[in-house]
Amino acid sequence: MAPPRFVLHHAPRSRSDRMRWLLEEAGAAYEIVPHDFEKGTQKAPDFLALNPLGKVPVLVDRGPDGTWADAVVTESAAIAAYVADVLPDSGLAPMPGTSERAHYARWMGYCPSVLEPAFADEVFPRREPPPARALGWPSAAVAVDVVEQRLAASPFLAGATFSAADLMVGGMLRWLVAWGKLTPGPATAKYLDVLGARPALARSMPSI
């Protein structure tokens, strides 16, 4: 029996949780390589050969016929976009040439380039604020208000249907709420309830 196409290097309660959710949403065949931050397994030489930064998630794609030897994707947004594109039947990415694709592209980039750095500044403030023009992101309050405004106008970030952009942004918002760092607005709260009821999310949550 052929091994699963995808290998996910994963540590629970980390950014790789979203990637396990992604693979469940995609209906993909995958296996987990667990990592333990306390033991530093993500700094082992064999893992550093996959990701020299020594962090998860990392996705290895064996290819549709299992013969690929060097297809490695790092960074959550890149992994999410990659899986959505190589498994188009999953419906995780709107078709190119549609207005929904434009929204999708915007929000796929929003999490790593706006939300994460904005909340990093919020949680770990600098001793002195940098010049405003030195940063490419706003305050955390502004960053989440932009999401709230979008969700007040659309059930999902790209339009009428769930996409990988919701998994990226919504996954981070869920984590911030659980951490006590975010009180969502009404549209965002409703949206997070919808995401929380998705069967693929429930399947992705067993501890490993």
Q: What's the Cα-to-Cα distance from 205 to each of 122, 167, 185, rounded to whole Å?
A: 28, 14, 25
> Would you call the peptide bond into 57 cis, given omega within 30 degrees of 0 as the criterion?
yes
Instruction: Give the three-class secondary structure for 73.
Output: strand
- pLDDT for res 205: 87
pTM: 0.94
- pLDDT for res 80: 98
For the chain, the straight-line distance linking the first and the last C-alpha, in angstroms and rounded, comes to 23
Is the domain covering 99-202 a CATH 3.40.50.300 domain? no
Per the DSSP assignment, residues forming a β-bridge with 61 are 6
Give the tens place of pLDDT for each residue, 1-53. Answer: 789 999 999 998 888 999 999 999 999 999 999 999 989 999 999 999 999 99
Using CA of residue 66, residue 72, residue 74, residue 79, what is the dihedral sign? Answer: negative
- pLDDT for res 133: 84
- pLDDT for res 208: 40
In terms of Cα–Cα distance, which of 77, 88, 110, 93 is closest to 159? Answer: 93
The yes-or-no answer to whether 6-92 and 99-202 have a common fold is no
| Strand 72-74 relative to strand 58-61, pairing | antiparallel
- pLDDT for res 2: 80
CA 175 to mean position of chain CA atoms: 11
Q: Round to whole Å and give the CA distance between 197 and 45.
A: 39
Regions of the chain short of the pLDDT cut 50: 207-208
Q: Round to whole Å and give the CA distance between 94 and 104.
A: 7
Is the domain covering 6-92 a CATH 3.40.30.10 domain? yes
Domain boundaries, the chain: 6-92, 99-202
Using CA of residue 186, residue 189, residue 193, residue 194, what is the dihedral sign? Answer: positive
